[in-house]
Structure 1
Amino acid sequence: MGSGGIRSSLSRHASEGFRVPSIIDSTCVRRIQSTVGTTRAEVQFVSHVVQETAVGVDTIRTTTDAVHKDIGAVHEGVEATHRIVTKNRDEAKTVSSEKQPTISNRDKLPARPTFFYGRDELVNIIVELICASTGARIAIMGSGGIGKTSLSLAVIHDERVVGVIGDSGYFVSVESATDVGAAAHLLAGQLGLTESSDPLSASITHLKTIPRALLIVDNLETLLFSKNAAAQKDTERMLQRLARIPSLTLIITSRGAVPPNGIRWSNAPSAGLEAISLGAARETFEQIAGRPELASECKALDSLLANVDCMPLAVTLLARMARLSNSPSHLLQRWQLKKTSFIRSGGDDRESSVDVSIQISLDLLKGMHNGMEGQQLLSICANLPDGLRPSVFEQLYTHFSDIHGAKDLLVEFALISIGPENELKMLSPVRHFVLKHHHMTMNHAAALRKIYFDIAASGPTRMDENFSRLAQNVAPEYDNLTSFLLHLINMEEPSQELFDAIEAVSEYAYWTVPSTTLREAFSQRLDAHPAWLASCLECLARTQLSRDEYALAAVNLHAARKLYTTLDNRFREAVCGRLLGKCLWMQDSLEAAERELLAAQNTFIELGNEGSAAQCAQVLGLICISRHDYDQAVIHIILRARRFQATRGAA
């Protein structure tokens, strides 16, 4: 048994407190046996010792019986807490089952693209790879707006693929994920696994039980091209774990030309997905526009399509604009006027062509009735990667003269779409372009800020009987909250309101899928606010401890304790010491852990906080047991029980 297993077993026995008498009896017996000799005089001496010890044992047993009762009361409290947590879990399952009627996996998939031309050969190649192998690995790479997602959906809806995988096709977009933990949470949600402390492992275990399955992981570029090198490595490791499932066909879509490392991809490496042919682009445009009279402008149409490199997103957007009586000649003229003045996201024409098409859409939008309000609503949607939900949409009603008209206009221009829960969603390239070039008005920014601060404040901050009910306020908006708060962290000075919102969302995440994203970002802005920084670092370390990131937790605890010392906050300083002691114990640094815990315990006793002192005693007892120092362990455990009992009595 390893040190972790021994520690777990000893911790369980220590917490139950039912073996104290047996430990004491065993200790006494060993001491008596060690004095036994072979001579008559030694035997007589031992007999005398035994008689005296028996009296001591009776006294000890009387004491331990009382301790046993105290620990029994603590045990009853633990059981009551367990019943509350179990009830919350059952209620959550009931609410989930009532809100989400049973539907097939295929019904959950996004629809096959209606207008999909010029990719038949590539679809056939990928389908043949899937049908020929039980574990194909397909990487669909390319520039933004090139049609990677559409290609993957055409494949998963192909009749030949359906004949192989049946109803075991899954699609998960990780566009809104800010780290691998969030991506794993999204994957688990698509698989119907909503209550796991390790969503990635749970998803892998579930997928291994399916004879043939196909998983599409869409929009990986946010994670693969993260500025954080560790996040990139974590993403590659996540994909490698998925790729090791023999029965799983894995398809990923991402910007870029080179697929992730560490996986033997089934499709041959290439420079990425290329644009469709001019003929395919023309057919796409004509079918979407639905206007036969456009045939008279073939030359202007071909020129327009060539100027945007026949990229599917640009072609689709332009065709939808043509449905509003905008001719190809007019669209081409607008493109020619705007091209040279556009701010590009990349260094070449192909990379900037999506931005060009988006700007054309926005320019045309301004000329429409209610166009300015449409653009303002678009700016709001751009700040919400998971979509503008109906509940938030209605709260914005008073800030527009005709918000429903603005929404209808954006839907008509294909700048937003209506999601399965009636949320307003944007294509990823459009969203990022609008974020960069079209900011919200001050009025709309303030309104959205208040709405999401209220949502954050309405969530749970502890695991109790109200957790399941309050979690329903935050869960649907968690990704939007995270994204919007990150935006505010970068855009405005720290404030009490922002601090409270970040703490509320981070605490909700601590009890669901622990994330350090918000606190890590906020801590970089708090040099002028030592009290907030200390609290942020302490809570960040607590989350890292829950994720077994002991080295990172120790660094943040030392920094937080130093700040608390400067602030003369002895209680929080001692809390950091207690957490640091636990962290060191988990790293097998027993002597250092004991020093930290004893110092923290003494401070708590001086401050009259028996509950916190008892928590220190508990870990100190476990450390002694790890050293086989059972006498001292018994002392710590008894003190722990008495301190908890004193706390209950005071309450």
Structure 2
Amino acid sequence: MSKLMVKFKPLSGKATRKEGDIPSGVDLSHLKLGLGTLSNIAEAAGITPLAKTAEILKDIVEIIEKKGENTEAVKDFTQFASELHQSLKKVLSPEDGVQMSNDLHEKIEGFQQYLEDSQKTLKGLAHRSKFGALLHAERDEKVLAGFKERSNRFMNSLNNATITYESIKLATPTAPGVFTGRDELVTAGVDKLCQGDHAHLAIMGTGGMGKTSLALHIMEHAKVREKFQEHAYFVPCEMMPDAPSIIQGMLQSSQEPILLVLDNFETPWYSSTDQNAVQNLIEKICGQRRVSVIVTMRGAEGPGNIEWNKLGGQSGLPPLTLEAAREAFLSISKNANASEDLDALLKELDCMPLAVLLMAQLSKRLALDILIKNWKNNKTDMLRNGNQDSRLTNMNTSIDLSLKMLESHNAASMNILPLLAYLPNGMPLWSLNLSQIYQISNFYVQLLHDLPDSGVEAQDLLEGHTANIQTIFTRQIDIAPQEAHLKAIYCFAEFTKFYPQILVMLDKALSHNWDSGQQEHIKIRFKKVYIMRFRGFYREAISEILKIQTIHMQIVPNDQKVQIKTLANCHKELGEIHYLQDQHTQAIEKLTNAQTEFENIGDRLGAAQCLRDLGNIHRMQNEYPQAIEKLTNAQTEFEKIGHRLGAAQCLRSLGDIHRMQNEYPQAIEKLTNAQTEFEKIGGRLGAAQCIKSLGDIHRMQSEYPQAIEKLTNAQTEFEKIGERLGAAQCLQGLGDIHRMQNKYPQAIEKLTNAQTEFEKIGDKQGLHNVCGV
């Protein structure tokens, strides 16, 4: 860096380097564009020091570009500036390794101030009449050397910053609803975790005993959630090769009590080429006072030299009691009744939880006597082939019978296969049974292709399969990815309730080079942006947009329309993120630009969507005439191009405008029509939003019974589709009704729950509204 400007010509001279030369392999125009984009996105994310830092660095690049003629010097600077740019980008890319914290915010702010001083110095040097000569001065050499040294220290501080992967939080499964006979173990685990500073729990045992289910129920217990708040992490070790680095990052990131649930820890423990490193990691984790650990693992002994509290006894998790197994079976199979034959089958299954669940699912379609006969025949075949009569044989019998029924590929077998959701974590050494994985993945490809037209029916059909779909497809992409797997993932991504699992699958899809190349990766990332925006992860969504723009700049497009459409979609997504954060000025700018870009390439749908969003911004700003004009025009455009969803959304917004102006008859008419349209096209989210608005109208008119009915129904529907914000808003509305009826205990309960939910999803407006009650 000290030689960077040594051979610059005086101000009156002309640089010999041609505009657009790329002496270092990095196009300066692309570097400036990247820094400008970074500045804009950082501003949108609310990280002002980073935005200013990128803008100042861009200005310095322009100084160098205009004054430099020495290609080696320009190469040196360009390479250095490019590295600095990549380090700054990591602040907006949590999965690349940097997590924003107060300490990091201060580091960026300090570096921004240093850059401002450097910028003034460089501008002063550039305007001296004997610029080139002066740069040979020892003092100026030190200035430039100091700039590089200070920048290097800043980059090192970023590279050593806390790492985190939001996917850990996003991928945490819910505890299974069917869970019997383990209450005492849950209580014991909760007590251990909550009594002292830290605890080390081991849930050991063979496959199919319900180790993961027990860990999840302990993790989700109210007392555990109260102690660890947002610092409880479920880490599926068999699916996350980066788990060690992720865990280390989480330990560095918080001074609060942390709970780590290390699920299927046998995968790194037994498959690692360096078990000592894994042992050192687990012992280091357990050596920290503020960190509690639950490890689930096959076998009888916990990992490392650690004093584990084993739940269920020294030999591992025991089978269920006969009573608990019977309760689990009957809670799944409503067709079966308690009987001696059922008890005999459960004893044959050794009351192993997974085997009980598998057979209970099968009994929904098969009479119990036929099921028992088939099971015994399968077991006889296994024993005839040399297997020992054991619990493992009983488990494999249940699995084999389930898979055989899959081979028929008929409607009946499809309906009895929610059982597949239990297979991956329960199947002994399932990751080695590649033929079974291939068989199951083919089934899911077909299942997702042939889903019912009704969104409600389709979601209900998939409900029990979600964990298995995630596990199977992520594994298949590692083993033998096919375009059919990606199409199946796209189908799965249509369901909002499954968004946590879908994000993990989309990340895995990005690890493969698909037939469409980088354009497919852009499509995948846009789906991630939509899901993250929907779930309120705005920084993560902005990070994905930044990556899309980076990829986009590296592609030589065959079709200019495709290039413009990608940029327009980036602007539209950024505009919607601004809108959701009440940053209306920035949202209008981005959406107006996107609308113009869509119109320039004849994309009527994209332009109509921008027009709808602009109308909604006016609605939120109480600018009703402008809102009505834009929403009506957007609705007309949606109807012309046959986009029923967009038209229904505009109709709902117009209904809300009437509601906000106390024009209740018109509001009820429009909202009811919109609800009907949403229901016809399977738009469950839109229908729930209409029901909520209708409930609010009843509430405003003091029609409390009708309001409670509507809001309760809307809350239920929001919860079914995984829309936490809508559910929280319904809770708030119900709390308001109880308050207005002087039912203060119920009001406090509802409003407190709403406040907790708003805090979890980071909705400032919701928090403000609740706190103002």
TM-score with structure 2 length normalisation?
0.39
Structure label with greater radius of gyration: 1
